Amino acid sequence: MHGRKAAAGALPNEESEDFILIRRFLRAGDSRVFRTLVERHLPSIRRLLYTLFNGQREEMEDAEQEIVLSLFQRLKDFQFRSSFRTYFYRLARNRGIDCLRKKRSQDRTVARLGLGLWNRELPGPEEQAVHREETDTLLAVFQTLPSKDRQLILMKDIDGFALNEMEDILGVPIGTVKSRLHRAREKLAKHVRGRR
Amino acid sequence: MKGRQKISCKKCRAGIQGIFDRVNLVSATGSESILKFMPRAFGEHLEQCSECREFFKTLTDFAPALVEQLDSAVHDRPPPDLAVILDRQRQPAVPQERNRAGQVIPAAIRKTVHRLFGPARRPVAALRWASMSLAGLLLVSMIGFRVYTSFRINRAIEQEVGRIIEQIYREPLLAGIETALVRSRTDISDYVEDLSRAAESFLN
């Protein structure tokens, strides 16, 4: 399973495979190589986007395209000093947050103009039932956590990043990462217990 | 917590978190395999304390279950269409990046504007605000000082001009003209009187 493989963390040979692909792409500019490179890391990026955008599909797809385009433009500057997985994840997170900010500002404008009222559709009974079912899942419990806590748990416990990699991605000291992660796990355990 | 326990709940949970920081919860095969990494005291505590046991079990069980739910939520669509994205990349620059003259705004200005007003994380944004406020404060104080100095100079000039005008009015330029006028007035009246007297004698 691709997702599982990505979740297991980047092994040294996986990293070197990434480097080989990047060098091949930079040498020949082959878009198929680029595609392969992106698809290797796409599951963890999609999980991150799901966490950032609360599962809103359209926004996730737009952000995904922005991220891939940004990677395409910046890959020539990759220094081969750090792991590509960390590099790509950091880029995706930063671009994702940019997209989220842009979307929030657009939403605020729409709300200010009162346009949202026209587009809002009330959920039908079936949708309400599906929603009720969805809120019982572990994923729904996870989504009730604050975004920062979700990201930390996702990075460490789902995508298997090491603490020093998280320090690199988040740009905060390792001690801060650790204490925030511990608090996030405590919250998650509390939320799960509360749902039982 | 009941019975004899060698470690506290707090210490046990901190220990559990420490283990979770080192192992990969998704690839770990259940709570038993993680227990192997832990000192015996933690295992004994978990046997006795139901709350810590639940905490441990929740965190060991949630990761594999969550990754499955997340993957089923996000992997039902194809990977992004690179051709479409690359087409977007080949498109010309967006209109906002051009000025009125139709010339491309220099990259340095664009970068500066982006650095100052573009989206950023909280510490960067805070730094920006601090530096921009400081720059604004400096600018305002410099302008204020300049305005104050020019106001003081203007006021000094006005005062000096006023003083000179006052002095001019106080000391007339043709000093002694009034006495001269008075003296000449008597001379004329004498002359007119002599003239009328001569005219009278001539007529008589």
We report the CATH number of the domain holding residue A23 as 1.10.1740.10
* Identity of the residue in A97, A98, A178 whose CB atom sits nearest the CB atom of B21: A178
- Let me know whether A70 and A142 are in one domain: no
Spatial contact of A140 and A188, defined as CB atoms under 8 Å apart: no
CB contact under 8 A, A8 and B79: no
Diameter of chain B measured on Cα atoms: 163
* Identity of the residue in A55, A69, A188 whose CB atom sits nearest the CB atom of B62: A188
Boundary of a domain, candidates A96, A120, A144: A120
- Let me know whether A22 and A113 are in one domain: yes
In a domain, B99, yes or no: no
Residue B69's pLDDT is: 87
Boundary of a domain, candidates A120, A144, A170: A120
Residue pLDDT, tens place only, A85-144: 999 999 999 999 999 988 887 777 777 666 554 454 555 556 555 555 555 578 888 888
User: Does the structure show a pLDDT above 50 at B7?
Assistant: yes
- Let me know whether A100 and A32 are in one domain: yes
Looking at beta carbons, which residues of chain B come within 8 Å of A101?
119
The rounded distance, in Å, linking the Cα atoms of B137 and B135 is 5
- Let me know whether A23 and A101 are in one domain: yes
The rounded distance, in Å, linking the Cα atoms of A124 and B166 is 92
Total domain count for chain B? 2
Residue pLDDT, tens place only, B130-171: 988 999 999 999 999 999 999 999 999 999 999 988 887 777
Residue range of the domain that includes B53: 9-74
Total domain count for chain A? 2
CB contact under 8 A, B70 and A193: no
Q: Which ranges of B26-176 would DSSP assign to H, the alpha helix?
A: 30-35, 40-48, 50-74, 82-90, 107-117, 122-170
Which residue on chain A is closest to B67 by alpha carbon? A158
- Let me know whether A22 and A63 are in one domain: yes
The rounded distance, in Å, linking the Cα atoms of B67 and B107 is 43
Mean pLDDT of B80-88: 73
- Let me know whether A99 and A34 are in one domain: yes
- Let me know whether A163 and A108 are in one domain: no
- Let me know whether A42 and A55 are in one domain: yes
- Let me know whether A28 and A91 are in one domain: yes
In a domain, B3, yes or no: no
Most confident region among A2-6, A107-111, A142-146, B61-65 by mean pLDDT: A142-146
The CA angle B54-B60-B62, to the nearest 5 degrees, is 95
Residue range of the domain that includes A182: 124-196
